[in-house]
Structure 1
């Protein structure tokens, strides 16, 4: 009786161990995939244009400030005390406006970047999910986040070529071409 239980347990353990080894695990560098998507290139162009608009506005305020400061310095001795104080206050307020606008511009840029990046990330994740499900992967590790302390790279399948194909990316990253 004990022998039958031991035999049953041994068979059960072997079956569970076999099913564990039959699971498929994959790896992918999501950041690399996103950087190679055509949508990312479009996003970068849009962000560059947006950044230029913001920079032009900052530059415009800066030019105004510099002109007023030069005028103030040039005419300092001709101003009465009350006019001098008024001009100093005006310069201070303009400098404060420049600093405030610079901070708001940075926040607007970050917000715009996040708005444009969100659908790209979602599209990449959807493609990864589709490829992983279609190929029966139990788990796919994203190596771009550095969340994995150790993994045996030889036992994982790189899904990047299939995800690139799913997304219609034809370029091969430089890192892959030099390692082959």
Structure 2
């Protein structure tokens, strides 16, 4: 009977310590903050803004030309034949179609370049987070923004040091919106 109690006590003690030894370390990180503060992401943002400005200028120029042509044709429509007016209306409609196509193409191009540019940036961030988690013995890293309680280890400072992240951008306030 005494051996049974001792054996039972040893089993409970061993299982209890085994549970503590198997406790899983959990960390968290604000992944978006990592991406936004990577030098490569900031450079990509500048490139995309320049491209967007170029497209915007081209779109605005085309829109002004269409509007000027429409105004001119409207002013001259009483002095032209119905065939010429119809031809001019078709010409304006074709230019409007090209204008709309340019807008769609510009948006799609910017979006595609952003996706293509973010892929290697995201992979680099993921690799750094994986390496830091492994070096700290962390088995699970959760997205910080989805946590209600944040008691795990915050990996941001370690990732910041590993990737050479830039300072956080100032948050927009009501004054500079």
Residue in 2 aligned with 1:178?
A: none
Aligned-pair Cα RMSD in Å: 2.2
User: Secondary structure of 1:114's partner?
Assistant: helix
TM-score (norm 2): 0.85
Higher mean displacement: 77-86 or 135-144: 135-144
Count of aligned residue pairs for this structure pair:
169
User: Secondary structure of 1:26's partner?
Assistant: strand
Residue in 1 aligned with 2:38?
A: 37
Residue in 1 aligned with 2:156?
A: 160
**CA offsets 1:103-158 (integer angstroms, 9 cap, x no match):** 111111100111111111111111111111111111111124x3x5x4x31x3111
Q: 1:62 to 1:158 in 2, by over 3 A?
A: same
- Say whether residues 1:64 and 2:60 are aligned partners: no
User: Secondary structure of 1:141's partner?
Assistant: strand
Q: Distance in 2 between matches of 1:84 and 1:163?
A: 65
Q: Is the 8 A contact 2:30 2:144 kept in 1?
A: yes
Q: 1:12 to 1:174 in 2, by over 3 A?
A: farther
Higher mean displacement: 93-102 or 12-21: 12-21
Q: 1:173 to 1:128 in 2, by over 3 A?
A: farther
**CA offsets 1:72-119 (integer angstroms, 9 cap, x no match):** 111011110000000011111111111121111111110011111111
Q: 1:98 to 1:136 in 2, by over 3 A?
A: same
User: Secondary structure of 1:137's partner?
Assistant: coil
- Which ranges of structure 2 fall in alignment gaps of 5 or more residues? 172-177
Q: Distance in 2 between matches of 1:5 and 1:128?
A: 44
4+ residue segments displaced more than 3 Å? 1-9, 172-175
Residue in 1 aligned with 2:174?
A: none
Residue in 2 aligned with 1:24?
A: 25
User: Secondary structure of 1:73's partner?
Assistant: helix
